[in-house]
């Protein structure tokens, strides 16, 4: 089990923990995301950029910067806050104030506000089972990218909320995500359904979304955990007694 911490990478083999940090050439100790590719190489997004880990040592993976006038990073232009390895094995790197950088194994391409991205401050990126890339941003809402075209649902007035993240696909293929202060949305491929405190959600600020083996949707919030069983949203303790 691999854990990204604020002081480097930690591995747990079932018996003991082992820590790895910048003393072993990790480019940044504050880790934001981890991904493992088909060769079992671990890709590490940090405040200082991207490192690769083969189990013995780290290699820096330099990312070229897009030509953006007046970038507005939240912390640092070097920070990479999320990594996605898609079904084709392509890499997508979320950059602080620099949009998204895609690497197909040979060349880099950039997704920025210059070519269709609504906001260069991306919060989270997610690939659904159909191969669409969902992009949640801090100031521009949510977009779906089919490889050619961006569809921004906030810009089109379909959803509310500028800050979007926590993507999850359930067993029926519905896409769930949270919109800061606007609860959560469920997209069934045609329409969006909004769930808020009026529908039983503990609060309209959701921190993570998870689909369990029963197909139930779990929402962790600032006010506890809510659960959607396909019919209604309730406090988790009303549906799963073990949580008490």
Decide: 76 and 96 in contact? Cβ < 8 Å: yes
Query: Please, are residues 138 and 162 in contact by the beta-carbon 8 Å criterion?
Result: yes
Name the β-bridge partners of 165: 178
The H or E element containing residue 239 is helix 236-239
28 has a pLDDT exceeding 80: yes
**pLDDT band at 13; cut points 50, 70, 90:** very high
The answer on pLDDT for 65 being more than 90 is: yes
pLDDT number for residue 174: 97
**Rounded CA separation 167/173 (Å):** 12
Q: What is the pLDDT of residue 55?
A: 86
**DSSP letter string, 137-161:** ESSS-EEEE-SS-EEETTTTTSS--
Q: Which long-range contacts (CB under 8 A, 24 or more apart) does 147-154 make?
A: 149/116, 150/116, 150/117, 150/118, 152/118, 153/192, 154/118
Half-sphere exposure of 239 (CA within 13 A, CB side): 16
Contacts by residues 222-231 (CB-CB < 8 Å, ≥ 24 positions apart): 226/200, 226/201, 226/202, 228/195
**Do 76 and 47 form a contact (C-beta atoms < 8 A)?**
yes
Residue 156, classified by CB atoms within 10 Å of its CB into exposed (0-12), middle (13-18) or buried (19+), is exposed
Selected residue with higher pLDDT from 70 and 131 = 131
Tell me the pLDDT tens digit for each residue of 200-225.
999 999 999 999 999 999 999 999 99
Q: Which residue reads 């609504």 in tokens?
A: 118
Question: Considering the entire predicted model, what is its pTM?
Answer: 0.93
Tokens for 134? Answer: 């969902």
- ∠ CA(111), CA(164), CA(41), 5° rounding? 60
């Amino acid at each position: 089990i691999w854990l990204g911490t604020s002081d480097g990478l930690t591995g747990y083999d079932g018996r003991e923990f082992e820590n790895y940090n910048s003393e072993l050439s990790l480019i940044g100790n504050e880790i934001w995301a981890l991904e493992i590719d088909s060769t079992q190489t671990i890709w590490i997004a940090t405040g200082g950029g991207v490192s690769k880990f083969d189990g013995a040592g780290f290699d820096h993976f330099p990312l070229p910067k897009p030509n953006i006038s007046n970038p507005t990073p939240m912390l640092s232009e070097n920070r990479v806050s999320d990594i996605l390895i898609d079904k084709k094995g392509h890499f997508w790197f979320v950059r602080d104030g620099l949009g998204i950088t895609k690497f197909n194994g040979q060349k880099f391409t950039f997704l920025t506000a210059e070519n269709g991205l609504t906001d260069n401050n991306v919060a989270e990126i997610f690939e659904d089972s159909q191969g669409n890339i969902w992009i949640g941003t801090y100031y521009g809402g949510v977009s779906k990218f089919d490889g050619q075209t961006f569809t921004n649902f906030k810009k089109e007035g379909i959803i509310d909320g500028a800050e979007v993240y926590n993507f999850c696909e359930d067993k029926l293929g519905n896409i769930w995500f949270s919109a800061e202060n606007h609860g959560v949305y469920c997209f069934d491929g045609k329409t969006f359904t909004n769930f808020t405190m009026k529908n039983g959600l503990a609060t309209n600020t959701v921190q993570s979304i998870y689909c369990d083996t029963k197909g139930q949707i779990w929402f962790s919030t600032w006010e506890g955990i809510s659960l959607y069983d396909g019919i209604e949203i309730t406090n988790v303790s009303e549906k799963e007694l073990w949580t008490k």
